[in-house]
Homo-oligomer: A and B are copies of this chain.
Amino acid sequence: MESKATDITWYKSLVSRADRERMNGHKSVVLWFTGLSASGKSTLAHATEERLFKMDCRTYVMDGDNVRHGLCSDLGFTLEDRHENLRRVGETAKLLVEAGVLVLTAFISPLRSDRESVRSLFPHGQFIEIFCDAGLEVCEQRDPKDLYKRARRGEIANFTGISSPYEDPLNPELRVDSGKSPVEDNVDEIIAILRMRGILPA
């Protein structure tokens, strides 16, 4: 018995991601929701999570609420800090995916280069980009926290869509019209894609 205690390379990643996926009955990937402020990213991510949970899936939503006050509390909103914020979100999502969790992220993530950087962290097919395309006009009408109003008045600098660019995804895995179509219809679409790709059982 003594030898076991002193052999320190003996146990090494005995539980693999494949083991976890088998236990869970579904694959783990990241669903990356991107779009303007108030385009419905969080709403759709949480609605999708709720549906997945009812299907017995292991899920987690990462958004500004649980990241900006913790993991990224040292970061501000300069371009550099927003890049680092998304990098850490991507790396953390990767750990969660490794742990067997189906991760849903809801960040504006306005730049193609940042989204592509995160995509490159994942093997092909495991980063699913969902463009919440509500249109600026709808987002600005909703404006639940008066952010657009404040940005128009010049009180918020570098506000995406007003004083800072949003680069539409060129080739997202899914584009949803989160301005018009009902949330539940969008969830249906996402679930269909996950089945089609073998992430959820058929």
Identity of the chain B residue whose Cβ is nearest the Cβ of A50 in the assembled complex:
B14
Bound form: Cα–Cα A20–B66 in Å: 17
Interface size class of A (residues with CB under 8 A): 35 or more
Binds B, one of A56-64, A151-159, A167-175, A194-202: A56-64
Bound form: Cα–Cα A40–B138 in Å: 57
Bound form: Cα–Cα A67–B88 in Å: 11
Contact of A60 among B43, B53, B95, B144 (CB under 8 A): B95
Bound form: Cα–Cα A6–B177 in Å: 11
Chain B residues, CB < 8 A from A183: 4-5, 10-11
Chain B residues, CB < 8 A from A180: 2, 5
**Is the CB of A19 closer than 8 A to any CB of chain B?**
yes
Listed by A's residue number, 25 A-B pairs whose Cβ atoms lie within 8 Å are A1-B182, A1-B184, A4-B184, A5-B182, A8-B38, A8-B42, A11-B42, A11-B44, A11-B46, A11-B50, A12-B42, A12-B46, A13-B61, A14-B46, A14-B47, A14-B50, A15-B49, A15-B59, A58-B99, A60-B98, A66-B98, A70-B91, A70-B121, A71-B95, A99-B99
Chain A interface residues toward B at CB < 8 A: 1-2, 4-15, 19-20, 23, 38, 40, 42-44, 46-47, 49-50, 53, 56, 58-62, 66-67, 70-71, 74, 84, 88, 91-92, 94-96, 98-101, 121, 138, 142, 144, 178-184
Q: A5-B40, A8-B142, A60-B95 are in contact. List 8 more A-B contacts (CB 8 A).
A: A6-B138, A10-B43, A14-B47, A14-B50, A66-B95, A71-B88, A71-B95, A95-B96
